Structure 1
Amino acid sequence: MQVKQFLASLVHMPQYSCTLMRVILLPLKRSTSKHVIELARNMCLNLISLIGDVKAPVLSILRDFANVQLTKTPQRAELSMLMSHGESPGSILENTDPVNLEGVGRKLLDVCLKQQKNDDLVEAMARLLVSDSNEDALKPRMGLLIDWLASVEPELIGICPNLQMKLLFGKAKMHINIDKNVVSSHSCRPYLLTLLTHTASWTTLYKCVGHLLDKCDDGYDSTAVLDFLWALTCNPKLWQGRDKFTPKHYVPENILLLEERQLLNLVAYIVSEGVIICKMQNRNAALARMDIRLDLLLHCISTEDSLIPNVVNYLAERMMDNTDADSADMAHQFLLHMYMKIPKVICYLDTFQASKFVNGSRITDWTGSVLDCMSHSLLTALAATPRQKSWNSKSQEFELCARKMAAVHPILVLRQLPMLASSLMGRCYLDFGSFRSGHHLNLFNQVMGLLELLQPHLFNEQHETALENTLGNYFQCFQNYGHIKDLVSLLNRFVSLLQSYVSHDPQRALKYLQKHAHALHELQVHYSNVPALRTLVSGIPMPREGEDMDDILITVTPALHPPEPTIPQHWQSLLTTLAKLHGEDVLSALQEIEHVALRKPSVLEPITDNIAELLVSPQSNIRSLAHSLLARALKYRPTSNANILSAFQRCLDSHRADVLMSALEKLPDIVLCMQEHALPLLQRVFELGVNSNVNTIPYITKTIALLNTQQGC
């Protein structure tokens, strides 16, 4: 009866029974008397059998003691004997149960230190960690192995570098949660990488960087590699003793000093990480991570601008590779992130690459473009329209800067399209005299010129709302001033833009135009002599009363007005005349071309090469007119033109003073329209001023002042 009561107390009063058993058994774990330990173990086994299969906390204490003594910890002598008979530290640790692992490991560590077999022990622990990391379940021994490895091998890489690199950077099958995102990684990796960056010497770290970036190894986890490289660039130990307050224009030091090949492998890791995150999580997560990784790339490039073209060409080749759609897409997206920070990257792409790069971009909602501030300031300044006598010339400078920006960076300027639409609002309610004298009509013409340059990207669906708001301002303008003939030129350009919209996306464009069908028909009444307007209106059905325009399906596309020939047919004889370089007939031919180009600058584009030959003409009036026509052609489409640039450079290299001075007078316009080549042009002019008696300072000063106009001030 007393035995049953005692057993019942052990089960039902754990607050006393567990404490009693711990007091009895804990000292025996340290006892060296085998007889006493055996008695205690038999007691535990007897109590377990008497209590039976019930749930009781005391049973776990009894079973633990019995199992510990059953699998008795090997002593140092036994471990030494095993190792002397060829038993490796790895097999000893592998065959030891988790309960006794800590005791065996400590004794094994002492034995290896005495026998100078640290290398074998480090390799064994690293191998076990790599093996455990590739299993789906987390093993309890990993913590002990990591602590021992860090104590024996403080630098973590040295004794068996390949195995240790695999431990630190190898891909894993284990999935863990980091910031609510499931990623594939070793659970111990963040701690190991922290130890590596804080305890390893610079020699070890640089060797590690060199090994990782020698090639983009698919066996390595891209996230681990990039996290390690980023940690090196912002390790607090690097900045000890530095100034706490850095200058405004401070450029971070290039710590890693990567070569071109290493930098390209870094970019490959970034693209690879984006592909993996896109598959495991989602596309937005991949884009967000790329934005973070871009800072690492910019840090590695630092002031070495010569590395940028190589990176751009590498990403462009990956983008154009159709064999791997996921990698091509991520390369494209990362190149877009680079473009947001370094807009000049678009200048390193060829025609096909630039077309795919721009057409596949959706960056309207992205943040962080360095061009946003400049484009916003410039377009805001253009829309200010103050009543000043000097505004006409000032607005022309603003317009030229804006046109250059729109021609080279259309997708970045289109980010300002909503602001551009709002800047046109509220101007059409004035009487026409105030509308024109207040420079509002000029602004509408200037904005129309920008919209023409932004085609066809302007018609993409992501810009639909902003585009329709902008077009709505023009409809309001024509509705209020439609009877005034001064708007014929603007109306022609507006109709041409609408026709381009219809050609790009007929269904969406015609649905929008049907909302303004009444306004278009009224305009046709006022301007019956505009054939393009008549052609456009003919394909737009008038909406019926009470009909919901959103439900109308447009099935008929209007026949667009055929384009006019690029140059008049009789100009072929004029082009033959221009080959003479001098003479009254050459001057007359240029004057006729100028007369047509005043109304239609596009006619100059196919004949710029012919005009460029006249820049070295012996007649000053021909030279001057040729420079003016080329400047007008560049202002109309301010993109880089190799033939004009080459002809202008020949003028700067000319030994004839009159040819040189004619070129210097047009230097500001040429440099602004071809900013991609601004630096070599200005350097050449500066050298002229130094090496000759030509005073080039006024021309350089005026050019720099015009370039500064891009700031909108």
Structure 2
Amino acid sequence: MVMHQNHFLACPLMRQLCQYQRCVPQDTGFSSRFLKVLVQTLQWLDSPAVEAGPLQAQLKLFAAQYSARRRISDVRSGFLHLAEALTFRGDPEVVSSTIRAIAATLKSGEGCDVEPELISKVLRGLVAVRSPHLEELLAALFSAASAFPASGPVAVVSSLLLQEKGEPPALGKQDSDGCSLEAVRLGPCSGLLVDWLEMLDPEVISSCPDLQQRLLFSQSKGKGPPGPQVPSFRPYLLALLTHQSGWPTLHQCIHVLLGKSREERFDPSASLDFLWACIHIPRIWQGRDQRTPQKRREELVLRVQAPELIGLVELILAEAETRSQDGDASACSLLQARLPLLLSCCRGDDEGIRKVAVHLTSCIQQWADSVLGRRCRDLLVHLYLQRPDLRVPVPDVLLHSEGAAGSSVCKLDALIHRFITLLADTSDSRAAENRVADANMACRKLAVAHPILLLRHLPMIAALLHGRNHLNFQEFRQQNHLTFFLHVLGILELLQPRVFQSEHQGALWDCLLSFLRLLLNYRKSSRHLAPFISKFVQFTHKYITCNAPAAVAFLQKHSDALHDLSFDSSDLVMLKSLLAGLSLPSRDGRADRGLDEEGEDESSAGPLPLVSISLFTPLTAAEMAPYVKRLSRGQTVEDLLEVLSDLDEMSRRRPEILGFFSTSLQRLMSSAEESCRGLAFSLALRSIQSNPSIAADFLPTFMYCLGSRDFEVAQTALRNLPEYTLLCQEHAAVLVHRAFLVGMYGQMDTSAQVSEALRILHMEAVM
């Protein structure tokens, strides 16, 4: 400021210094320091608080003259001068004149021996000051043949774009003057750089693969709010990569993203977006028929190997972990959104998706209830809902998983909905009864094979139980409402113990309440309700065993109704025994408690409810031994029929006893005696209906009977084919194919049985 105020002394002094610099140009140290003084002084004088004066005008003239003289010097000196001017925020006129001097020197053909670090520093400085001459300098640099090697311009532009993402520059770590290499916000300059990158490398990723892969897929580590920080230009670059790159480039990029050697710094969202875009590249579908067949088979567009599928799964899990800011719900939505990509990569490759399931299973076992373990479990649930036909140990892994009830749409939801609707049908025609029986078998099979899928529809089952017990008992029974209640209770028995989990408590209590209302409304007809009461008490006993707190809460809440039912029906011995063995309050003890307080405090129930006596003693092998011996040693048809008839009578009440006779029944299913054979088939199917999980045990025998040379044996097997196919759905294709071959080469018409089996599988009965 003293020099500015005493410009009559400062101006002659500055002229003398400038004259010395002209006369002794070899003194580079003086020239550099003199330029620095010029720039700093101009920077101070450019302050709004300082009025313009002679000294400022003279210094600007010296700076312009100095820049003009640099035209005849080498390019490196020009870059050094420009770097110093940008470092001290020099006069824009000085910056522009220097850039023009560098451009003129490059156009004159002079070699460019400038270090890449210096070029990067200058370009970042121009970006920082929003210089309008950035494009002019880039054009001059990239037009000079000797300025860079073949991939040099692409590396320069890519490194500048990486600054926007907060990554360290690729062309150098630290400049000589200690200039900070913090992230530079490109602002409007990013569009210019992206245009240059597209012009220099149309494939975006082929010139400097490592650097450009980081540009396209690396995660941003810049400071800011938590969550993904995606550069604004990245979607455009990914679109260029997808639409302008050749097939080899795309394949190489896919292998890098999914290979074992991939970098953990890759942004999972960008990687997954690119993979999804690859499936929908318009070039793939050129020349295809625009009319898509209704029953077309999905094509495997993105062919990835099994190890790469594991990489895809890890990307999906990583995205859910990094982007789920709102907890498990947000993570589940992300997993669900990426599931179509995973399924499209597994199209037609059951082995690959099995490996994915095995990998997720091992991760669940390794990470247990950690965040990553829950993410793996959620993804496995979504995968299972879309591909329930996979024969992998998924249900065991997902036994304690939550969230399947309210998750995404399942592939079998519509079919299960139809099964349940048919099960609740109350029509009195013979065809309707057959449909109800078929639907009951289908639901029982689902309860054993896919309990998770059926439990998703438990609220619907509970709702269908409502509005039926207002009729008198004769109407209730004749309209098949009692049959529906028995079927539902039987299905709930097969869903044990999963149905007792807390996530199903609301729907389960709704079902149990409907059962209680049934017993209360028709307590005078307890003789006809004996089978239902027996099953209900057994189910309640199992509920107490598996989930005592929830069972106590329900029973205490409705203890008045249970005691009323027990007092009014003296013949309900099983119910009295259950109430006697439970720590339930009496009616008198609850008289002064409000209904709203019932069941609120589970800890007030006293000791845990335990049944004092064993109400339901299962039959043992020793008790069944005489029948087994008689069946195995039977010599005559009369002896065999007598034993089978006894078993038929006993199994009507307790079908579980047939499990002791599986071997003998399978032997008699191929008997030459029609009466024995028919009864053996009937008992075998009854045993499978009671416990559908054993259906596959009878498959070899059934296949043998279908292919038997004995015409009568084959006919008996064909008559039972539809029912057995429904109970053994996992092997339905094998059974139907065998029946078709029998019809082709066995000189018998099997078309009716095959059609009926297919009809029952899809419940396409004519209403």
TM-score, normalized by length of structure 2? 0.78
Counterpart Cα distance in 1 of 2:664 and 2:266:
58
Does 2:598 align with 1:549?
Answer: yes
In structure 1, the residue matched to 2:374 is 329
Question: Offset at 1:679?
Answer: 0.5
Question: Offset at 1:162?
Answer: 2.5
Identify the range of structure 1 (222-231 vs 534-543) with the bigger mean alpha-carbon deviation. 534-543
In structure 2, the residue matched to 1:290 is 335
Does 2:512 align with 1:458?
Answer: no
* Residue pair 2:669, 2:705 contacting (<8 A) in 1 also: yes
Paired amino acid for 1:463: H
Question: Offset at 1:580?
Answer: 4.5
Does 2:567 align with 1:569?
Answer: no
Paired amino acid for 2:142: L
Counterpart Cα distance in 2 of 1:134 and 1:649:
67
Change beyond 3 A, Cα 1:537–1:268:
same
1:622 to 645, 658, 676: 676
1:162 to 210, 218, 221: 210
1:341 to 378, 386, 390: 386
Instruction: Classify the secondary structure of the residue corresponding to 1:359.
Output: coil
Counterpart Cα distance in 2 of 1:463 and 1:118:
66
Change beyond 3 A, Cα 1:183–1:419:
same
Does 2:462 align with 1:421?
Answer: yes
Change beyond 3 A, Cα 1:50–1:472:
closer
* Residue pair 1:604, 1:633 contacting (<8 A) in 2 also: yes
- The within-5 A match list for 1:223-262 is 223-239=269-285, 246-262=292-308
* Residue pair 1:578, 1:611 contacting (<8 A) in 2 also: no
* Residue pair 2:163, 2:183 contacting (<8 A) in 1 also: no
Question: Offset at 1:606?
Answer: 4.4
Does 2:142 align with 1:109?
Answer: yes
Question: Offset at 1:154?
Answer: 0.8
Counterpart Cα distance in 2 of 1:50 and 1:222:
49
* Residue pair 2:425, 2:432 contacting (<8 A) in 1 also: no
* Residue pair 1:83, 1:89 contacting (<8 A) in 2 also: no
Instruction: Classify the secondary structure of the residue corresponding to 1:196.
Output: helix
Change beyond 3 A, Cα 1:374–1:400:
same
- The within-5 A match list for 1:92-241 is 92-96=119-123, 97-98=125-126, 99=131, 101-112=134-145, 117-130=149-162, 133-135=165-167, 137-140=183-186, 142-174=190-222, 182-215=227-260, 217=262, 218-239=264-285
Question: Offset at 1:313?
Answer: 2.6
Change beyond 3 A, Cα 1:92–1:711:
farther
Identify the range of structure 1 (317-326 vs 437-446) with the bigger mean alpha-carbon deviation. 317-326
Counterpart Cα distance in 1 of 2:51 and 2:440:
90
* Residue pair 1:671, 1:681 contacting (<8 A) in 2 also: yes
- The within-5 A match list for 1:14-25 is none
In structure 2, the residue matched to 1:371 is 412
Which structure has more RCO (C-alpha within 8 Å, separation ≥ 6)? 1
In structure 2, the residue matched to 1:605 is 659
1:249-289 CA-partner distances (Å, limit 9, x unpaired): 444533222333333322232223223334x5522221111
Change beyond 3 A, Cα 1:708–1:544:
same
- The within-5 A match list for 1:512-551 is 512-538=554-580, 539=582, 540-542=584-586, 543-547=589-593, 548-551=597-600
Q: Specify the structure having the higher radius of gyration (Cα).
A: 2
Paired amino acid for 2:656: S
Counterpart Cα distance in 1 of 2:237 and 2:310:
26
Change beyond 3 A, Cα 1:225–1:698:
same
Paired amino acid for 2:361: A
Paired amino acid for 1:220: F
Question: Offset at 1:487?
Answer: 0.5
- The within-5 A match list for 1:361-440 is 361-440=402-481
1:491 to 523, 526, 533: 533
In structure 1, the residue matched to 2:170 is none
Question: Offset at 1:46?
Answer: 9.5
Paired positions, count: 663
* Residue pair 1:89, 1:108 contacting (<8 A) in 2 also: no
* Residue pair 2:257, 2:271 contacting (<8 A) in 1 also: yes
* Residue pair 1:216, 1:265 contacting (<8 A) in 2 also: no
Counterpart Cα distance in 1 of 2:673 and 2:752:
24
1:187-212 CA-partner distances (Å, limit 9, x unpaired): 54222212211221223212222332
Change beyond 3 A, Cα 1:385–1:70:
closer
Structure 1 consecutive aligned stretches of length 4 or more whose deviation exceeds 6 Å: 40-47, 62-65, 80-83
1:367-408 CA-partner distances (Å, limit 9, x unpaired): 312222222222122223023344333321221122222222
Instruction: Classify the secondary structure of the residue corresponding to 1:75.
Output: helix
Identify the range of structure 1 (588-597 vs 120-129) with the bigger mean alpha-carbon deviation. 120-129
- The within-5 A match list for 1:470-481 is 470-481=511-522
* Residue pair 1:652, 1:685 contacting (<8 A) in 2 also: yes
Identify the range of structure 1 (493-502 vs 416-425) with the bigger mean alpha-carbon deviation. 416-425
In structure 2, the residue matched to 1:668 is 722
Cα root mean square deviation, aligned: 3.5
Instruction: Classify the secondary structure of the residue corresponding to 1:559.
Output: coil
Counterpart Cα distance in 1 of 2:627 and 2:48:
118
Question: Offset at 1:632?
Answer: 0.7
Instruction: Classify the secondary structure of the residue corresponding to 2:403.
Output: coil
Instruction: Classify the secondary structure of the residue corresponding to 2:577.
Output: helix
Question: Offset at 1:554?
Answer: 1.7
Paired amino acid for 2:626: S
Structure 2 runs not aligned, ≥5 long = 1-37, 53-59, 61-87, 168-181
In structure 2, the residue matched to 1:7 is none
Counterpart Cα distance in 2 of 1:175 and 1:48:
33
Counterpart Cα distance in 1 of 2:237 and 2:265:
18
In structure 2, the residue matched to 1:587 is 641
1:649-699 CA-partner distances (Å, limit 9, x unpaired): 232343333333332222112111010000011112212222222332222
Paired amino acid for 1:511: A
Question: Offset at 1:159?
Answer: 2.1
Instruction: Classify the secondary structure of the residue corresponding to 1:659.
Output: helix
Question: Offset at 1:514?
Answer: 1.7
Counterpart Cα distance in 2 of 1:189 and 1:277:
17
* Residue pair 1:340, 1:368 contacting (<8 A) in 2 also: yes
* Residue pair 1:654, 1:660 contacting (<8 A) in 2 also: yes
Counterpart Cα distance in 1 of 2:154 and 2:752:
72
Instruction: Classify the secondary structure of the residue corresponding to 2:302.
Output: coil
Counterpart Cα distance in 2 of 1:712 and 1:307:
40
Identify the range of structure 1 (265-274 vs 521-530) with the bigger mean alpha-carbon deviation. 521-530
Counterpart Cα distance in 2 of 1:195 and 1:90:
28
Sequence identity percentage: 29
Does 2:96 align with 1:52?
Answer: no
Question: Offset at 1:494?
Answer: 0.8
Instruction: Classify the secondary structure of the residue corresponding to 1:321.
Output: helix
* Residue pair 1:277, 1:283 contacting (<8 A) in 2 also: no
Structure 1 runs not aligned, ≥5 long = 1-39, 55-61
Does 2:559 align with 1:559?
Answer: no
1:468-487 CA-partner distances (Å, limit 9, x unpaired): 22211111111111121100
Counterpart Cα distance in 2 of 1:712 and 1:264:
46
Paired amino acid for 1:508: A
TM-score, normalized by length of structure 1? 0.84
Instruction: Classify the secondary structure of the residue corresponding to 1:299.
Output: helix
Paired amino acid for 1:284: A
In structure 1, the residue matched to 2:66 is none
Counterpart Cα distance in 2 of 1:380 and 1:663:
30
* Residue pair 2:648, 2:683 contacting (<8 A) in 1 also: yes
Question: Offset at 1:518?
Answer: 2.1
